[in-house]
């Protein structure tokens, strides 16, 4: 129903008036970013949520997405229905719309490539503005998604009945920090998405800003659920802060 999308019937979407437009693209491949066999509706929803997270780094307000899908030739109508339902949940949750996209087929596993558009981003933000003396702050507990992914993939953990649904959902249903990004965009010096792991992303931020970082591992927030796996010597702090998908 959005006029910009032009009924999804034209080759382009047209935007007449956007302020400080932010654009990012993110790709999700089954077997690379999610375990093989992950429900296709969860994959489609997760692909959007992962992409939206990048907009938060500029405090941008999401407007719409473009979705390109490469899907198995064997897919049936019911598979497309599940994909649509996953999209619907993410679009409604963040009050955005699908502005266009493309579908191709192949003999391999599903691939989703999501382009996100947002406006009112702070052009002064990015990865290269951190200064000596800045405080490094994270928006939530670290390592939950790493543990959740391993719970999905590790048969030994499944057999031990250690699967924690909350941690699994942290991986399957990411929570892009859109509102937080908007709230801090006027006083943060740099913001970065940490989906590739806290330590890896701090390294990127430091390299781009030409600064170093002192990190006390004890100060990094770990959830009660994830800490159980550290206390049981199944994972350690290094695993959690390098694991990614937060």
- The whole-number pLDDT of residue 75 equals 97
The helix-helix angle for 224-231 and 165-172 (nearest 10°) equals 110
pTM exceeds 0.85: yes
- The whole-number pLDDT of residue 159 equals 58
- The whole-number pLDDT of residue 13 equals 65
- The whole-number pLDDT of residue 160 equals 57
- The whole-number pLDDT of residue 162 equals 58
Distance separating alpha carbons of residues 210 and 52, to the nearest angstrom: 27
pLDDT averages per 10-residue partition of the chain, 246 residues: 71 70 93 96 98 92 96 97 98 96 96 95 86 95 95 75 80 95 92 92 93 94 94 94 92
In the 8-state DSSP scheme, what is residue 196?
T
- The whole-number pLDDT of residue 155 equals 75
- The whole-number pLDDT of residue 124 equals 85
β-partners of residue 22 are 118
């Amino acid at each position: 129903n959005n006029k910009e999308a032009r009924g999804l019937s034209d080759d382009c979407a047209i935007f007449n008036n956007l302020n400080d437009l932010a654009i990012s693209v993110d790709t999700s491949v089954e077997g690379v970013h999610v375990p093989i066999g992950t429900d296709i509706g969860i994959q489609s929803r997760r692909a959007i949520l992962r992409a939206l997270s990048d907009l938060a780094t500029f405090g941008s307000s999401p407007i719409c997405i473009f979705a390109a899908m490469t899907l198995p030739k064997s897919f049936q109508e019911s598979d497309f229905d599940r994909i649509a339902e996953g999209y619907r949940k993410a679009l409604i949750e963040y009050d955005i719309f699908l502005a266009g996209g493309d579908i191709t087929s192949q003999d391999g596993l599903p691939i989703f490539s999501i382009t996100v558009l947002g406006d009112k981003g702070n052009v002064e933000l990015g990865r290269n503005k951190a200064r000596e003396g800045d405080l490094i702050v994270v928006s939530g507990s670290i390592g939950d998604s790493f543990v959740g992914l391993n719970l999905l993939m590790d048969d030994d953990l499944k057999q031990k009945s250690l699967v924690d649904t909350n941690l699994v959902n942290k991986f399957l249903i990411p929570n892009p920090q859109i509102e937080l990004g908007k709230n801090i965009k006027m006083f943060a010096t740099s913001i970065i998405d940490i989906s590739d792991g806290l330590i890896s992303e701090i390294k990127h931020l430091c390299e781009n800003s030409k600064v170093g970082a002192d990190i006390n591992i004890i100060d990094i927030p770990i959830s009660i659920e994830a800490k159980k796996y550290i206390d049981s010597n199944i994972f350690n702090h290094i695993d959690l802060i390098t694991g990614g998908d937060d």
